[in-house]
Amino acid sequence: MDLRKLAILAAVLAGLCLAAVTLFWFSSRDTSDAPLAKAKAENVSKLQFDRAGVSTVLEREGDSWRLTSPVRDIADPNPVGDVVNALLGLRIGSEVSSEPSSYAEYAVDDASATRVRLYTSESAAPVFDGFFGRKALGYDSLYLRLSSRKPVHLASGVAPYQLDRHPDEFRERGLTRVDRATLESVSLRFDSRTLEIAKSSTGFVVSGAEASPDKVETAVDRILGLRAGDFSDAPTKPSETGLDKPAIEISVRGSARTTRLLVGRSKPGPKGAPSPYRYTQVEGRPALLLVSGADLQSIADLILPPALPKRAPARR
């Protein structure tokens, strides 16, 4: 290899080393500002995300969270807690620009950014208000512009996926909200067939049907594990969903909570064909949920005898 090629190779290696050192320096140096270091997770009362014309608002109600925009529903505490903890650990680092003309380049302008506002119970005004832009140097590094300041900064601690969630990703998909330890009994009505499953010292006692203990245990687990596969928020009359005369009713009673599920007809799919989902409502919850028809049928198959076929009228 001649000296010219060696010089080029050395220059390339030097550039790569410089880039690696720069990346490490920016991501590891602890000279950044932590704007929410004094805030406590239990005091966070509201989150608002504005992105691409959609406003997602989450508000605390006691020990739980509610989605209040763009729809009203119970919120899943897991993704909410995930983003709260990330924001509380946010660190604002080096300034990369102070010119408003660069906002679009870093995607921190009004049209491209995700604007995040965080409120606490101690203040009516947001304690944090910033415009998060495109991904920067690492997994949890973004460009950030605070609403009260002009410069664009590097920020770490918040990953893009935590801010880019669709509103439905914050919604509670679990239906019963009763766990196995606190379960007392389950009542089921499938069409005209009904049965009761009551907890006993040795397992479960079933009335209204004959089923093996193993099948009953499996059915109970599947009932407690029922989840919404999707949501239907279009205004729909109860008669169109079948929820005015539910074909299936499931009541799950726990020591601290009772949940009643009402299941209607199948949601129409493309070109009128049935979809895999059935319209479902949880009593006291405003959302119209979609639950897998196959999941519901598997519960019936475990604990209910097959329906007898209708007998054809005798010929005269």
Q: Using one digit for the tens of pLDDT, what is the confidence trace for 61-108? A: 988 999 999 999 999 999 999 999 999 999 999 999 999 999 999 999
Task: Count CB atoms within 10 A of the CB of residue 295.
Answer: 17
Residue 115 CA to residue 272 CA, distance in Å, equals: 40
pLDDT at 10 over 80: no
Average pLDDT over residues 141-170: 95
pLDDT at 271 over 90: no
Q: What percent of the chain has pLDDT over 90?
A: 68
pLDDT at 276 over 90: yes
DSSP label of 20: H
Find the angle CA(128)-CA(44)-CA(38) to the nearest 5 degrees: 65
Q: Name, in order, each residue with C-beta under 8 angstroms of 302's C-beta and a sequence gap of 6 or more.
A: 211, 215, 216, 218, 219, 222
Please provide the CATH number assigned to the domain covering 183-303. Answer: 3.30.1490
Q: Of the candidates 167, 130, 156, 149, which has an alpha carbon nearest to the alpha carbon of residue 30?
A: 156
Among 55-59, 154-158, 238-242, 296-300, which is the least confidently predicted range?
A: 238-242
pLDDT score of 212: 86
Task: Count CB atoms within 10 A of the CB of residue 134.
Answer: 13
Domains of the chain, residue spans:
32-170, 183-303
pLDDT at 207 over 50: yes
